[in-house]
Structures are given as C-alpha cells and as structure tokens.
Amino acid sequence: MKGLERAALRRDPRTYAVIGAAMEVHSTLGFGFLEAVYHEALLAEMSLRQIPFAHEVELPILYKNQKLTTTYRADFVCYETIIVELKALDNLTGKEESQIINYLKASHHELGLLINFGHSSLEYKRYIHSQSTAKLVRVD
C-alpha cells in the first residue's frame, strides 16, 4: 500500500467517526472496566452519533467455497464495511492482531479497527485487507 493510500485511510471519515465515538467512551469511563462494559457503552455512543452499525455479527468461514459450521463473531460492523473489534487488555499482542486479520479474511471486508480500552489512553489500530492482492497492511 502506498503512502497516499495509507494517508487517505487515516482521514477516512467513517473510521474517524468510530474512533471518535470510542474516544468519548474512554474519556467518560476511563480504563479498568470489563470489555462488555465498553461494548455496551460504545453501542450507546454510536447510536447517539448515528453511526450505522450491527453488533455481535456472525462471520461465516468458507473452505473451498463450502461454508463451515464454525464462524467468527465480530463485535461490530460499522457502515456495513468496517469490522470493529474491542479489547480491554493491558497490552495487545499478536493474538489480537491475528484475530482482526482473520475476521477481515473470512468476511471479505477491507477495513478493520482494533480498539483497546485497557490503557490510560485509548489505543487503536487500523487495518486494510486488499482482496485483489490478498495483502493486509496495518495503517497506524
């Protein structure tokens, strides 16, 4: 991904709106709560901001064009295109990054946000998955 494409994603108004809602939740609640608390608060904040979303979205997994019985469940899908995964951890690891990457691959969505409420300041990472090149890039 070229520098201009990364910059465009950073300025994407949809991801900016979701991150802004998460910042408001973090500013209001602080850190230290369980993930479920942040999930419910973000649900309320995105509703107040009229950000279109679905929560607890089941993502089917295909193997050789056959749907498997195992599925993933994304915390949110915003604007019908952005997978949003929430965490409330001291530190994000490769495990959480792998989770959002697998969600993007399974769903064929191109944008993903990994948001962590577990620090004194909100932590977020943006990802883009190109279906045409089967390439994933972390933007932030």
Give residue-wise pLDDT tens across range 88-105: 999 999 999 999 999 999
Residue 130's pLDDT band (boundaries 50, 70, 90)? confident
List the structure tokens of 91: 């530190």
Q: By the 8 A CB rule, do 35 and 65 touch?
A: no
- Residue 132 reports pLDDT greater than 60: no
Does residue 136 have a pLDDT over 80? no
Domain range for 37 is 3-138
Between the alpha carbon of residue 111 and those of residues 37, 53, 66, 107, the distances in Å are: 24, 14, 24, 10
pLDDT at 9: 55
pLDDT tens string 1-59: 455 455 555 578 999 999 999 999 999 999 999 999 999 999 999 999 999 999 999 99
Task: Report how many domains make up the chain.
Answer: 1
Phi, psi (5° rounding) for residue 81?
A: -135, -15
Q: What pLDDT, on the 0 to 100 scale, is given for residue 4?
A: 45
